Structure 1
């Protein structure tokens, strides 16, 4: 029986569940192994609240809104969090040094083979350690996940990646040059400001379309999705490093080049698995970046989310740290060979919409 989700054969149908069960048991084994990995490295596992006054302030993240009622019926707006990041950083401000959490998170407007409205994010943070250590963590985690389920390769829809091979580390600028023939940083000023016309000229030069209302970020994302990501994480994992600062709202600028940030993403089999930062701890700069993100969200989607003032206050006492978010369900998929995210979710969200 086909294990994919259909209205005729929901996930709780015994035959469908029987097909899914090996993937689910693999998921459980990997989660247990990762808990052991973090405990052995002196991490404290934390659990953060799902309900937040702000769900995050990135332009293209969409939250589920709700409201909380007092005993006398007064309402306050709340959201299901899109990440435990703000709460985790408050814990760093409180004095924790190494923390990790498996958190159910919620993102609206997302559903597909690799996306689900509710999914599990694995996040971990290291105080006083550089973001290169997170890259080493990722290598260890990929290898542990594969070894736990007896997989020699990570796989996704015919693609393979050897988690035991040394990862490729590639800057975003180098990836744009290699895979698209585009000089990305020629459109980024020393202070991180971007030049829309300069990047548009680069896209046109290599034959890519540019819409009249495209902003710099729109064009950046198009090149990344169409030209770069299809080449990442095949044969061996790829660490895509040094994003332009305008594409790293929560990361600090690189000491090597202020045009780029200490942000990387991990890819395997063409699938984005993790997003890591050297954390920004300047509250004024963080507020400025959030305001830019919300202005962009208003321009594109006609809505904004409130800033988490409590989080901005916490940044003023948060120590230097690095942190990362990894899509745990995707990791389970690649290690077990699942082709859709629902195969590694014990009880998927019901289908909705046309």
Structure 2
């Protein structure tokens, strides 16, 4: 019967209780719960993310100087830009549990519409935020305290290659036994090769028995993170893994508007090279950055967390309705 929900009512009841526990975790720590728009005239420029696009054709399009086809709007892949505008306006530490959208294939760990927990702690760096996230994981998953490992050491440990120094040729040689075939051989972008190696050789095994924070990603993968003052080769960024699942991505947040604009423009340059649609840059976000307080933030995939907490092996088993049954 196609009208039935994807997850059972019993599973959805468990889901609701866990989300209540997550919300209480932050309220007890004094964070303000906020809501931000799902639709925006700009979206992320990251070449690995694809946005859903629609058009606003209401009576207010004239002031927005829209063409006759309407104003392009994008469903947000994360509430990050709007949340940082709130931080810059003086909100203090904040959190949000929201629906976000990524135009990618559905599968065991993916649904194009999913729930994201995102929070920002004013005055924190990425290490303090890792401490807090570890507390949340232990509460929700009853897991052991997490391990921490640098991105560099993860590659040295599992692939015997230094991702910060190795040539593109050496990286491909390190992945020769991974059965990536023509995909690896044909790729000429160094960061894409690193990502392939990480996904196939590191992500599935780095955190089988307890969560693992992988931190100090290459500076070329900084996204919205600051570059380390101790080692300019790396960014103050972390990701969290557990039982073969990527759970979260966090940053010691960049507040340099010129640097962030350069990164967005470089993303669009790469998009053009690869034949991918360039994305409109969010200049409201860029403008807020000089006012952003020192803070660290992280986005955590709630549905994946629920899979682990509820002992499920497919994201469909923790969603009321998937994209195929909506």
What's the TM-score once normalised by structure 2's chain length? 0.91
CA contact (8 A) 1:171 1:241 kept: yes
Aligned to 2:10: 22
Partner-residue secondary structure (3-state), 1:42: coil
Distance 2:36 2:128 in 1: 24
CA contact (8 A) 1:184 1:199 kept: no
* Pairwise CA distance, 1:88: 0.4
* Pairwise CA distance, 1:205: 5.4
The structure 2 residue matched to 1:120, chosen from 112, 115, 120, is 115
* Pairwise CA distance, 1:90: 0.3
* Pairwise CA distance, 1:214: 2.0
1:62 aligns with 2:80: no
The structure 2 residue matched to 1:78, chosen from 56, 73, 93, is 73
1:342 aligns with 2:311: no
Runs of 4+ in 1 over 4 A off after TM superposition: none
The structure 2 residue matched to 1:201, chosen from 170, 177, 189, is 170
Partner-residue secondary structure (3-state), 2:217: coil
* Pairwise CA distance, 1:351: 5.6
Long gaps (5+) in structure 1: 1-8, 147-151, 153-162, 188-197
Aligned to 1:3: none
| Counterparts of residues 148-297 of structure 1 (less than 5 Å) | 163=143, 165-187=144-166, 198-204=167-173, 207=176, 210-297=184-271
Q: CA offsets per residue over residues 81-128 of structure 1, 9 Å max, x none?
A: 000000000001100111000010000023101000100000000111
Partner-residue secondary structure (3-state), 1:70: coil
Distance 1:226 1:251 in 2: 24
Distance 1:206 1:123 in 2: 33
* Pairwise CA distance, 1:72: 6.7
How many residues end up aligned between the 2 structures? 314
Greater alpha carbon shift after TM alignment, 67-76 vs 130-139? 67-76
The structure 2 residue matched to 1:44, chosen from 32, 38, 44, is 32
What's the TM-score once normalised by structure 1's chain length? 0.84
* Pairwise CA distance, 1:21: 2.2
Distance 2:137 2:97 in 1: 16
